[in-house]
Amino acid sequence: MHKNRYYDSLGLYITATQLRFYLNDPSGFQSFRHYDEDFKHYFNECRTYNLISDLSIKDPKCAKFFWDESLEDIVIEFPSNGRVVKILNYLHADEEVL
């Protein structure tokens, strides 16, 4: 376990930096305190991003990250029958997170 990570019961995590980024905004702090839907969505996005990032470090062919200019956001690409999808299905991941 890493020092600056907050793990859930599945072993997925959000980093201290990701949490601080969210809490830096006053509305984010309130959202966190009330554990509302906005925070839950952010938390799930971070856990999913971190999971896929960790998998791609171990196996670069399982996922690719890139910046999409038109969306102005990070996009994650992975095979529809690959390791990432199998793990997300196993964890019953919410498709909205992706």
Tens of pLDDT, residue by residue over 24-68, are 998 999 999 999 999 999 999 999 999 999 999 999 999 999 999
Averaged pLDDT, 14-21 = 95
Domain of 10, in residue numbers: 5-97
pTM of the model: 0.82
Q: What are the angstrom distances between the C-alpha of 36 and each of 32, 42, 49?
A: 7, 10, 20
Q: Look at residue 97 and tell me whether its pLDDT is greater than 70.
A: no
Q: Is the pLDDT of residue 89 over 80?
A: yes
Most confident of 8-12, 15-19, 83-87: 15-19
With pLDDT > 90 as the criterion, what percentage of the chain qualifies? Answer: 77
28 alpha carbon, distance to own chain's centre:
17
* 94 pLDDT tier (thresholds 50, 70, 90): low
Residue 84: Cβ-neighbour burial (10 angstroms; 0-12, 13-18, 19+): buried
The domain total for the chain is 1
1 has pLDDT over 80: no
* Confidence at residue 2, expressed as pLDDT on a 0 to 100 scale: 78
